[in-house]
Chains A and B, each alone.
Chain A
Amino acid sequence: MRLNKEWTIKGIAMAVTGTILVLAGIAFAQHRNFKEEVVLGPGVTTVRTLGDYFAPLKGGPNDANVFILDSGEPGGTMLVLGASHPEEPATSLTAHLLVENATVEQGKLIVVIHSNPSASTVTRPGDAYPRFFHIETDWGIKKFRMGDRWANPLDSWPDPETYVHFPSGQLLAYMDVRNLNRTWPGRSNGSLAEQTCYAFMRLIEAEGVDIVIDLHEAELEYPIIGTIVAHQKALRIAAMASMTLTAEEFRIGMEISPLALHGLSHREIGDHSNAPALLAETPQPFLDRVRGITDESLLLTGKDEFVMKAGEFGLLYWPIDESGWPIDARVGRHCSTVLKIAEFWTLFNRSKPLVVTSVPRYADVVANGTGYFFQDPATASASKVVYE
């Protein structure tokens, strides 16, 4: 009798656990296998992958698409990195928007939408991130993966007990061995993220990249926000871009990349190649620790009462009010920042001009919405659709 009762409860518990596992498993698989559709814009001349620059990545989780927009005219070459941290969606949206819209009249633009694709296939345990987010367009809803800050443990397991950065020897928290913005300049036999950075460094050499822009978003509690962080070799460009953007479009600061902070793109790319890197940050209240309900709404609108309250107490480094920080404002900021940096690159390097057109600026994106600038993959020819 006693045994029967025991097994009845155990059986029910097994059934419940099994159901949870099956449903959760389906949800995880849907997320991991979902492909975003990218319609190649008029400017795209070639689509390569990271594995073309570093063979061991070929066909693997981080064999990221590399979109090359070559004007055919001699000039400067700029690399734009989206979603170094896939939990910062305005960055991949901006890169995506560049691929679908930009035309290049002089020089070459190289865009990566997901710089650490593995990290975009996993939700963060314990942080309740949504799996997907949706952008309204003129032709319907476009769906995107929401990712994490670190590469998927399914692709990069185990972590060391502490992460020793190469080549500086600086100690970092163990999970940062999967954080693409802590593994620059990378190493060929390192972790997935280290190999990915290594591949990017080879890309920078092979394509003769002159300047790199690494797009990011940050929480408002974090001092490096609403700003351009620049390697010392690119200070002039960063300073001019931030000054003119602030005068013409929106407030944006400028900081010098600290010499002692290793593994970051704005430090290491410039130290280990001819191309200095600039890192652009937009405000994303979704990342704040004091945030309230965590869902897609917060992700897209950037409206949060708790974050606002922290602002009233002077705890934030960036302002926020009832209108929040909508995704369109954040994407618009990144678009204008990229364009402005290209303009000043050309101004300071007359012999290597880079002229990018057909990209909306801040005001256009805010007025029309990000979705306005995405093309309908259903009506595009199949050869023009690439999966991310």
Chain B
Amino acid sequence: MAVMVLYYVITALFTVILVRNFIKTRDVQKGILYLAVLMPFVLRLFRLK
């Protein structure tokens, strides 16, 4: 159970960094790919999937 909470923390950490990198990147193609990668992270964080 405690381990599962840590996994949400890890997920949250990478979600934040992915969002940060998405905002900072000047490369639009990279930006779109960041968004695609973000999809599973966000839905897992919200415990929807």
Contacts and interface: CB of A to CB of B under 8 A. Distances in A.
A13 interface: yes
Contact of B31 (A10, A20, A28, A154): A10
A25 B35 CA distance: 16
A241 to B, nearest CB: 41
Query: What DSSP secondary structure best describes chain B's contact surface?
Result: helix
A24 B3 CA distance: 27
Interface residues of A, number: 17
List of 4 A-B pairs having minimum Cβ-Cβ separation, nearest first: A17-B35, A25-B48, A28-B48, A9-B28
A383 to B, nearest CB: 32
Interface string B1-45: 001100100000000000000100010100110011011001100
A158 interface: yes
B35 A14 contact: yes
Interface in A147-180: 154, 157-158
Chain B interface size, as a band, is: 10 to 19
Contacts of A13: 31-32, 35
A90 B3 CA distance: 36
A154 B7 contact: no
B7 A157 contact: yes
A32 B43 CA distance: 13
Contacts of B38: 17
B28 A17 contact: no
Given A6-B26, A6-B28, A9-B31, A21 B49 contact: no
Contacts of B7: 157-158
Interface in A96-149: 122
A20 B32 CA distance: 14
Nearest to B4: A157
A157 B28 CA distance: 34
A344 to B, nearest CB: 44
Contacts of B31: 6, 9-10, 13
12 contacts: A6-B31, A10-B22, A10-B28, A13-B32, A13-B35, A20-B39, A21-B43, A24-B39, A25-B43, A28-B48, A32-B48, A158-B4
Is chain A's interface secondary structure helix, strand, loop, or mixed overall? helix
A174 B47 CA distance: 22
Contact of A154 (B35, B36, B49): B49
Nearest to B38: A17
A29 interface: yes
A275 B49 CA distance: 37
B44 to A, nearest CB: 8
A25 B4 contact: no
Interface in A1-44: 6, 9-10, 13-14, 17, 20-21, 24-25, 28-29, 32
A234 to B, nearest CB: 38
Contacts of B35: 13-14, 17
Contacts of B42: 21
B3 A158 contact: yes
Given A10-B31, A25-B48, A157-B4, A17 B43 contact: no
Nearest to B22: A10
A17 B36 contact: yes
Contacts of B28: 6, 9-10
B4 to A, nearest CB: 5
Task: Output the residue of B36, B42, B46, B49 with the most chain A CB within 10 A.
Answer: B49
Contact of B49 (A6, A14, A28, A158): A28
Contacts of B46: 25
B25 to A, nearest CB: 9
Given A6-B31, A13-B32, 16 more contacts: A6-B28, A9-B28, A9-B31, A9-B32, A10-B31, A17-B36, A21-B39, A21-B42, A28-B48, A28-B49, A29-B48, A122-B49, A154-B47, A154-B49, A157-B4, A158-B4
Contacts of A25: 43, 46, 48-49
Contacts of A10: 22, 28, 31
